[in-house]
Amino acid sequence: MPQRAISFVEKGWAGARQFTIPLAQQGMRIEHVVKGKVADAVLAIITPYPGMRISSVSRRWYRFATWIMLLLAVPDRQLDMVIVDNERSAKWVGSSFPMLRKKLVLIQEQGDGSPRVIRDPLAEVSAGSSR
């Protein structure tokens, strides 16, 4: 079964995209959902990797759309990672979908667009098991 990640982007797509490029290269399917309308021409430019899709949702419908995506993904059991770019979204996903807490990765986009991982429970579990 292929691995799958959903990335909810509210504060800039570059960091989330850079974070997931190595994952896509390893065969993980990545779905980025950007808050706010992004022009189709821009979406075409920023989605050059196989297995990676970037879409945008209007600010008005963003929270509802993300909730529906998670609701549909949970019973599927094919979701390996949920990536968010702010603490508020991390709290929302964790409280709305407690079964995803161990799959939740919080990143922060640096000034140069590169990602900084703030919290990665998957890495914490790996580090804990190697002791």
Write the class of the CATH domain 4-129. alpha beta
pLDDT in tens, 20-63: 999 999 899 999 999 998 888 888 888 778 889 988 999 999 99
CA distance 7 to 116: 15
CA–CA separation, 30 and 69 (whole Å): 13
For residues 53 and 34, is the Cβ–Cβ distance under 8 A? Answer: no
Please, are residues 12 and 85 in contact by the beta-carbon 8 Å criterion?
A: yes
Q: Is the pLDDT of residue 10 over 80?
A: yes
Residue 5 near residue 82, CB atoms below 8 Å: yes
* Domain range summary for the chain, segments of one domain joined by +: 4-129
Q: What's this model's pTM, rounded to 2 decimal places? A: 0.84
Q: Which residues contact 69 (CB under 8 A, 6 or more apart)?
A: 6, 31, 33
Q: How confident is the model at residue 2 (pLDDT cuts 50, 70, 90)?
A: low
pLDDT score of 65 more than 70: yes
Q: Express each pLDDT in 67-122 by its tens digit.
A: 999 998 887 677 889 999 989 999 999 899 988 888 999 998 888 888 888 877 65
> What average pLDDT score do residues 12-18 get?
85
Residue 10 CB neighbours (<10 A): 18
Query: If you write DSSP's letter for every residue of 55-105 in order, what string do you get?
Result: EEE-TTTHHHHHHHHHHHHHHHT---EEEESSHHHHHHHHHH-GGGGGGEE
